[in-house]
Amino acid sequence: AKSSPGLTLILAASVPLLGIGKNNALPWRLSGEIKYFKQVTTRVDPSCPEKPNAIIMGRKTWDSIPARFRPLPDRINVVLTRGNQAAIDTTTSGKDNVLVASSLDDAIDKVGQKAAHIFVIGGAQIYCQALDHPLTQRILLTEVNSTDPEGVAPIDCDTYFDKFPWYPQSAVKPTSKDGGELQWKRQSYEDLKQFVGDQVTSLQPGPIAEKAYTYEFTLWERMA
Ligand code: FOL
């Protein structure tokens, strides 16, 4: 993957357990948050204005996006599958911005030269693979809190980003195998603002209230 851009994970996850899904869908519907996802993954990087961005997703995440919305416009959509590639409709819709790959490395080989930024958009299996990938440099994590009046009801999820031991309240802590050092570090809001750029008008310092939730946009960077 010569001179390919680094990988950025983007996800919204519940606090503190990092729930990301329920019944192969998002656990919530937060219009300001999905607008941020759309703006961040679509925005044209001024230092690379001729290139679109790429989004890499697993086959189950592809399935979770309503057929009428996919492929997501103005981004190169790459769908990972070990199975039947014909099951992913890349042609009949008349859209030419979708391709299929058999692994993360295969996906990077296919879009690395064509894309300004590569975003990994899930789901849990793909986030785990990407977290272990040497090209992964940052995580755009939206922390979602419930504002349930009881203050105790956790957000109902069946899928978790549970391999991120650096998260402050994760059930799993970094082990001495990792050198006992923090490999991932939360960066400041200013750093996040600088990374996403001026076109992302939905970026705000959090927490932001919507429905029965508050959410906050955060940036994490790999230190080693
Ligand atoms: N990351 C974050 N921060 N929030 C998310 O909701 C999110 N969702 C996924 C991956 N990373 C995320 C995967 N699920 C669409 C639907 C589901 C989905 C990702 C994207 C989608 O339809 N997006 C449209 C905008 C839809 C709208 O405006 O309502 C797009 O063009 O991006």
How many angstroms does the Cα of residue 34 sit away from the middle of ligand 1?
A: 5
122: left (phi over 0), alpha (psi -120 to 50) or beta: left
Residue 74 Cα to ligand 1 midpoint, Å, equals 13
Computed from CA positions of residues 122, 125, 128, 130, in that sequence, does the dihedral angle turn out positive or negative?
Answer: negative
- Ligand 1 geometric centre to CA of 12 (Å): 9
Q: What does 158-218 look like in DSSP terms, one character per residue?
A: SEE----TTSTT-SS---GGGTTS-SEEEPPHHHHHHHH-TT-TT--SS-EEETTEEEEEE
- Structure token pair of residue 224: 């080693």
Q: What pLDDT, on a 0 to 100 scale, did the predictor assign at position 88?
A: 84
Q: Is the CB of 142 under 6 A from ligand 1?
A: yes
Domain ranges of the chain: 7-222
Please give the Cα distance from 88 to 71 (Å, whole number).
10
Which residue type, as a one-letter code, is found at position 203? L
Instruction: For ligand 1, atom 10, name the residue with the nearest CA.
Output: 121
Q: How far is the CA of 56 from the centre of ligand 1 (A)?
A: 12
CB of 30 within 6 A of ligand 1: the answer is: no
Q: What percent of the chain has pLDDT over 70?
A: 89
Q: At 195, is the secondary structure helix, strand, or coil?
A: helix
Find where tokens 């329920």 sit: 22
Q: Which whole-number Å values give the CA distances from 161 to 25, 26, 165, in the listed order?
A: 14, 13, 10
Least confident of 57-66, 118-127, 148-157, 182-191: 148-157
Among 20, 34, 143, 218, name the best residue to mutate to test ligand 1's pocket (greatest count of ligand atoms within 8 A of Cβ): 34
ipTM of the prediction: 0.99
Q: What is the pLDDT of residues 144-178, one digit of tens each?
A: 999 977 656 679 999 999 888 777 655 555 655 55
| 7-222 CATH pick, 3.30.300.90, 3.40.430.10, 3.10.20.740, 3.40.109.10 | 3.40.430.10
